[in-house]
Amino acid sequence: MIDIHLHDQNTYKLYDQKTYKPALFKDLTGALAVVIFQCPFLTLRAIEQFRESFISLRDRKVRLCVFVQKPRHWDERHAGGLPTENSARLKQFEAAIELLRSYGAHVNLRIGIHEKLVIIDQSILWDGSLNILSHFDTSERLHRWVSKQKVEEAIRMHKLDSCDECSRDDYFVAFSRDPESVLERIRLVAKSIVKARNADGISQRELASRLKISRASLCRVESGATSVELGTIVRVCQALGLELMAVPKFVVPCLAQLIQSVEEKES
């Protein structure tokens, strides 16, 4: 194992197939909000080695997104007519996907991916030749980086902020790196404000009167208009028991689940 301190915030270590697991398990244990695997291939045996770690992530509400390569003939696997060997291989792959989902993972099929990566929160990146969720006994290497820049580059390059299941969540837009999603982020804030006001049974007229602003100004806030002053939005939020704050992007999935849990209990 090679350990190089590049500077205060960046650390690099090189592992092989015999040495990486204790460090990776430790990283998974310390995950706070999101873990992303990109592993082109899957086997039941390899996945089962991560059973305790993945279940712990699920129980701690840490989002686990797995990106795998879509096998050839995947869409025809139930149609019949495939050679026996192909059919058996697809059944094993499907069983591996179901096992991951039973551990709480979001599984995404992608065409033509080959890079092997693990990302933990906003600062840890594992990459190399070792396919963690299918490795058996070959000689491989894994690089471990502690670097926000490396993580961000990997997420952008491999589009790892495009989890199919996460994207169904309204709050996912705040995790996306898509520059076109700025307006959607503003609409998300506006939607939360409207939801909170309706839950409190307060009319627009009443809230505007309390804040000593015009009803037209409040309408612009609730419609997601971009011309509204930030101070006005903060005041509206505070009046409704909300807080507008900047948070690290990587905690968005965790916060989204917490908010949804609170809303479910209050409904």
Residue 244, φ and ψ in degrees, nearest 5? -95, 120
Fold classification of 2-165 (topology level): Endonuclease; Chain A (3.30.870)
Mean pLDDT within 158-163: 90
pLDDT for the residue 215: 94
Residue 141, φ and ψ in degrees, nearest 5? -130, 150
pLDDT single digits (tens) 125-155 = 999 999 999 999 999 999 999 999 999 999 9
Q: What is the pTM of this model?
A: 0.79
Mean pLDDT within 159-166: 88
What count of other Cβ atoms lies within 10 Å of the Cβ of residue 162?
18
Superfamily of domain 171-266: lambda repressor-like DNA-binding domains (1.10.260.40)
Residue 26, φ and ψ in degrees, nearest 5? -65, -40
pLDDT for the residue 5: 45
Asked if residue 170 has pLDDT above 70, the reply is no
pLDDT-derived band at 64, boundaries 50, 70, 90: very high
pLDDT single digits (tens) 197-208 = 999 999 999 999
Mean pLDDT within 222-239: 92
Please identify which residue in the block is written with the tokens 């390569």: 69
Domain ranges of the chain: 2-165, 171-266
Residues whose CB is less than 8 angstroms from the CB of residue 149 and which lie 6 or more positions away in sequence, other chains included: 10
pLDDT for the residue 246: 83
What's the distance, Cα to Cα, between the start and end of the chain in Å?
52
Residue 101, φ and ψ in degrees, nearest 5? -65, -35
Asked if residue 1 has pLDDT above 70, the reply is no
Mean pLDDT within 200-225: 94
Mean pLDDT within 196-220: 94
pLDDT for the residue 177: 65
Q: Are 109 and 163 in contact (CB under 8 A)?
A: no
pLDDT single digits (tens) 92-121 = 999 999 999 999 999 999 999 999 999 999
As a whole number, the mean pLDDT across the chain is 88
Residues whose CB is less than 8 angstroms from the CB of residue 110 and which lie 6 or more positions away in sequence, other chains included: 67, 68, 69, 70
pLDDT for the residue 144: 97
Dist. CA 131–CA 110, nearest whole Å: 16
Residue 175, φ and ψ in degrees, nearest 5? -95, -20
